[in-house]
Amino acid sequence: MPSSDKKILVVGGAGYIGAHMVRQLARASCDVVILDNLSTGNRKLVQGEAFIQGNLGNSDLLDKLFSRHTFDAVMHFAAFSQVGESMHQPLAYYRNNLAETVALLDAMVRHDVKRFIFSSTAAVYGEPVAIPITEDHPCAPTNPYGNTKLAVERMLADCDAAYGLKFTALRYFNAAGADESAEIGEMHDPETHLIPIVLSAADGRIDHIRVFGTDYPTTDGTCVRDYVHVNDLAQAHLLALDALLEGGDSAVYNLGSSHGYSVRDVISKAEGVTGKRIPVVEAPRRPGDPAVLVASSEKIRRELGWAPAYDNLEKIIRTAWNWHLKQK
């Protein structure tokens, strides 16, 4: 594969998705350097690779890094990603997700590194007007988090036009699961994501799961989401990297499983996987949650041959549970 033996800077490589990416790059024989400030990442998720603790917006640090290493590409996972938090602290999101990315791209341009893979999000679409969501669906984010990600996508298109910087923006739907090794997995603090919370309720670490909203216009009244395994996400990045290394043009792709599961579906499948009863408390809607978010990932399947290995939710939850059990 063209990516083997390439040198890749992984920004945010100590985070949940970044750490899984680093594993896949290592398995593909890439030479990886990680830059992470550990503000939300965790050093425990990184083993063996070159690790630099620092901010991606630190131009002096970036100049040193880009002078010392000749990178074939940069992958950027370092962002704040909580929709609710972004509503209360928009400037923190604009600073971290947008301003710091300006500094990173600036350093890339100064050092003539011209390939970039960006972690974008389904939140760029806002409230969907059509399901499944394709890449040409209108982008109208409903929160600062989505605004910052869309602003970076637009900045990337401008950088391509001006400097020939080629990029792939990957719009993740709901990342879930853990590496089969169960050595790395999801560990946010505080945890806000559904599957880790459901699993904590399954093994009694918390008393119950609160279901945010039971009156949505869906079959069981709870929100429907598209869960995609974190290693399938990482695999898509490898395909995108290969395409850029082969001279491919800039592109934007959705990454989802194309299957929608309601919150109640997730809970009942987690009961099946864990063999435990999961106590549920019905709670009001969480502000900013769209009723249904399901991707069409046809474009990346067709153009890059992406074929997710985790094609059902039980398989995804099983890997998350194996990781969860090790976090005692």
Q: Which residues bind to ligand UFG, rule: CB under 6 A? A: 81, 83, 121-123, 173-174, 192-194, 197, 209-212, 223, 225, 263, 286, 289, 293
As measured in angstroms, the least distance from the Cβ of 187 to ligand UFG is 14
Q: Is 231 helix (H, G, I), strand (E, B) or coil?
A: helix
Please identify, using beta-carbon distances, which residue of 116 and 173 lies nearer to ligand UFG: 173
Choice between 2 and 284, CB closer to ligand UFG: 284
Nearest-Å Rg of the Cα atoms of the chain is: 19
Backbone phi, then psi, for 235, in 5-degree steps?
-60, -40
- Min dist CB 212 to ligand UFG, Å, is 4
Q: How far is the CB of 300 from ligand UFG (least distance, A)?
A: 16
> 3-state SS string over 228-296?
EEHHHHHHHHHHHHHHHHCCCCCEEEEECCCCCEEHHHHHHHHHHHHCCCCCEEEECCCCCCCCECCEC
Q: How far is CA 312 from CA 132, 258, 259, in A?
A: 17, 10, 8
Q: How far is the CB of 29 from ligand UFG (least distance, A)?
A: 31
Residue 94 annotated to the active site: no
What token pair was written down for 295?
């991707």
Contact of 148 with 98, CB cutoff 8 Å: yes
Nearer to ligand UFG by Cβ, of 164 and 284: the residue is 284
Q: Closest distance between ligand UFG and the C-beta of residue 50, in Å?
A: 28
Residue nearest to ligand UFG (CB): 223
Q: Which helix (H) or strand (E) holds 273?
A: helix 263-274
Of 210 and 259, which has the nearer Cβ to ligand UFG? 210
Catalytic residue, chosen from 16, 93, 125, 145, is 145
Minimum CB distance to ligand UFG smaller for 65 or for 197: 197
Q: Residue 132, preceding bond cis, omega within 30 degrees?
A: yes
Under 8 Å between Cβ of 209 and 267: yes
In angstroms, the CA 179 to CA 231 distance is 7
Alpha helices in 141-227 (DSSP H): 144-163, 194-202
Q: Which residues are catalytic?
A: 145
